[in-house]
Structure formats: C-alpha cells, structure tokens
C-alpha cells in the first residue's frame, strides 16, 4: 500500500485532473480510486469533479495490487535464436509482452515460460526474462534473458545504447526529407495521461534517427533507429514529425489498409552479453506488413545499413 499527501499549489481544477497531472496514474484509475474511497479531501469522500481549493488536504491511498498467478501456456511463438544465456523471439502483432491486470494470460511471458524453462528472475514473477518490451501491436524482435548475469548485462547495454535496434515503419503522408534526427523530451501527454507526447518539461530525452526507403504522394516507408527506448517513442516522434505510423489508432487514425500500427522491430545488432560474440538477427516482415506495402504502393528494396 502506498500513501500520498498532496499540497495544493493551485485551485480550481477538477480533483481527478489535478492528481493525474502530478502522478503517473491515468484519470480512469484515479476516478476508480475516488469511487472506492481511496482518495479523500479533508478526510471526506469526494467526487472526481470536485474543484480543489488552496489549503485542501488531499490524501490518496494506492492499494497493493493482487498477485497474478502466472501459468505457462502452450502458445506458439517463433524463437529465432537460443543458447544457454539468451533467446531472441520474433513476436507477432497482437500479443501483449507481459501480464497485467486485464491481461492475466495469453501473453508472451506465458508462452515463453512454456517453451523456455530457464529464465532470469530479476524483473520479478510476472516478467521473467523480460529485458525490454514491444507494444502489443508492434511485431518483431525481443531478447529474452535466461539467467541473471545475461539480464544485468543486457540491461546495461540497452541503457548505454549498446544494442542497435532497427525498425521498419509505414507512415501516413509523403515525408519531405530523406533522413533526419529527432531529439526531444517524451513524457505523459498533459491532455491525456494514457498517451505519451513530446513535452517541454517533465520528460525523458528521446533520440530517434530515420531514413526514407520509399515514398509516394500518400505514404512513406522508413527505417528507424532509436538511441533511447522511451514508451511509444517511434509512434510519438513520427506523429510529432507530422507523419503518424499507418494504422496507429492512438497517435494517428485507424486505416482500412492496416489492421494495426505498421511498425516492425526488424533487426537487432549487439555483442552477446556473455560470450561477446557479434550478433545480428533479422525478422522478416510479417504478412500483414507485406500486404500493407503492396496496397500502399511502397517497396522495401535493398537498403544500406
């Protein structure tokens, strides 16, 4: 259980919005906490619409989450590489990486626990072996750590840009340049806490490089390398650039051509965390991505690294 006391520095805002702007919680989660009596104003139960006033005493209690019973599940996954220290998974779009409330089963972790018996435990019971993640509707490569030594070294490598991550994305619109770099802060969208956004303050540095592989009047195909790994980084940066990822219903719009965001983790290059062997692993484009390329009139072609 966590208890938070808020000192009111401004007045007139709704209670749920005031708290959302000062925490990582979504407004939906905050509204539920208010409804359950876990957020009180001046020791009294309130409503999300209550307008905060100076000298108000706001107390929020965040109950401990119930444990999720994690069960290995015989879900088909593609393992592109495996040794005694690591495995590299080719994740399908539509599968959540690790369990959470609302996604207690059917996740990549459930599948990995079934197919790979030895996993590192550094990230706790619900994220065994998970060093990094991909969004549910992003396809492509994920590294799994099979022991704690590999996990720690991989985490250091991700933190120090020791792993080169290459993505392929179809964007909405014709980009007016051939390549570029975006370096901004990314944080919670102040207008919608469920989203991330480019922000001026209270964010983390995000660095993205892109190269245009093909384009026409309506669409662009890009190769993207990210130096950092912020939540939704590519999707947020492409929207900020003015060319949202095709099919991204959160940062763009739904599209008949794409049933999900056309973003694919295409290649990983790194030194093996234990043997120091140079690793280069590529995930071929999935069928729905190839179909979207055909319908948009774009071609992957051969590109220099």
Q: How high is the pLDDT of residue 193? A: 74
In a domain, 121, yes or no: yes
Whether 153 and 168 share a structural domain? no
Query: What CATH number is attached to the domain comprising 19?
Result: 3.10.290.10
Query: What CATH number is attached to the domain comprising 190?
Result: 3.30.2350.10
Q: How high is the pLDDT of residue 6? A: 82
In a domain, 70, yes or no: no
Whether 228 and 251 share a structural domain? yes
Q: How high is the pLDDT of residue 303? A: 60
How far is residue 179's CA from residue 241's CA, in Å, rounded to a whole number? 12
In a domain, 208, yes or no: yes
Whether 209 and 247 share a structural domain? yes
Catalytic residue, chosen from 16, 85, 90, 135, is: 135
How far is residue 117's CA from residue 114's CA, in Å, rounded to a whole number? 7
Catalytic annotation present for 135: yes
Q: Identify any residues that bridge with 14 across adjacent strands, giving them in sequence order.
A: 51
In a domain, 131, yes or no: yes
By DSSP bridging, strand 78-82 and strand 86-91 are antiparallel
By DSSP bridging, strand 192-199 and strand 86-91 are unpaired
Whether 215 and 286 share a structural domain? yes
In a domain, 72, yes or no: no
The end-to-end CA distance of the chain, in Å, is 49
Q: How high is the pLDDT of residue 103? A: 67
Whether 17 and 107 share a structural domain? no
In a domain, 204, yes or no: yes
Whether 176 and 87 share a structural domain? no
pLDDT in tens, 120-135: 766 655 567 888 889 9
Whether 133 and 175 share a structural domain? no
Q: How high is the pLDDT of residue 161? A: 82
Domain count, the chain: 3
DSSP string, 238-257: HHHHT-PBTT-TTTS---SS
Using alpha carbons, list the distances in angstroms from residue 187 to 58, 114, 180. 25, 35, 21
Q: Which of 14, 36, 62 is the last residue of a domain?
A: 62
How far is residue 199's CA from residue 77's CA, in Å, rounded to a whole number? 37
43 is in which domain, residue-wise?
2-62
Q: Which of 159, 181, 208 is the last residue of a domain?
A: 159
Whether 261 and 199 share a structural domain? yes
Residues of the chain with confidence (pLDDT) below 70: 1, 64-69, 101-103, 121-127, 302-305
Q: Which of 91, 126, 159 is the last residue of a domain?
A: 159
Whether 128 and 243 share a structural domain? no
Using the Cα atoms of residue 31, residue 191, residue 206 and residue 211 in order, give the sign of their dihedral: positive
Whether 225 and 285 share a structural domain? yes
Whether 230 and 113 share a structural domain? no
Q: Where are the alpha helices (H) located in the chain, listed in sequence order?
A: 15-20, 27-35, 108-115, 148-159, 233-241, 287-296
In a domain, 287, yes or no: yes
In a domain, 305, yes or no: no
Task: With CA atoms as reference, report the closest residue to 68 among 32, 106, 39.
Answer: 106
Whether 123 and 201 share a structural domain? no
């Amino acid at each position: 259980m966590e208890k938070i006391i808020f000192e009111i520095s401004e007045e007139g805002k709704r209670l749920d919005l005031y708290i959302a702007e000062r925490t990582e919680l979504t407004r939906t989660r905050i509204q539920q906490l208010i409804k359950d009596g876990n957020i009180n104003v001046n020791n009294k139960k309130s409503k999300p619409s209550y307008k905060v006033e100076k000298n108000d005493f706001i107390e929020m209690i965040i109950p401990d989450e119930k444990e999720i019973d994690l069960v290995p599940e015989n879900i088909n996954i593609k393992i592109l590489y495996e040794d005694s220290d690591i495995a590299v998974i080719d994740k399908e779009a539509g599968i959540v990486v690790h369990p959470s409330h609302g996604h207690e089963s059917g996740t990549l972790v459930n599948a990995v626990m079934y197919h790979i018996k030895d996993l590192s435990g550094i990230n706790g019971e619900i994220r065994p072996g998970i060093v990094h993640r991909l969004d549910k509707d992003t396809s492509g490569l994920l590294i799994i750590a099979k022991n704690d030594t590999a996990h720690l070294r991989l985490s250091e490598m991700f933190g120090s840009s020791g792993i080169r991550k290459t993505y392929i994305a179809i964007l909405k619109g014709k980009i007016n340049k051939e390549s570029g770099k975006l370096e901004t802060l990314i944080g919670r969208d102040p207008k919608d806490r469920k989203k991330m956004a480019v922000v001026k303050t209270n964010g983390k540095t995000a660095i993205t490089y892109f190269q245009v592989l093909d384009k026409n009047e309506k669409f662009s195909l890009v190769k993207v390398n990210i130096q950092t790994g912020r939540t939704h980084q590519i999707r947020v940066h492409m929207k900020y650039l003015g060319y949202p990822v095709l099919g991204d219903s959160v940062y763009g719009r739904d599209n008949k051509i794409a049933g999900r965001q056309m973003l694919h983790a295409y290649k990983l290059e790194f030194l093996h965390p234990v043997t120091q062997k140079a690793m280069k692993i590529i995930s071929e484009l999935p069928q729905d991505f190839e179909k979207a390329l055909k319908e948009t009139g774009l071609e992957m072609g051969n590109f220099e690294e």
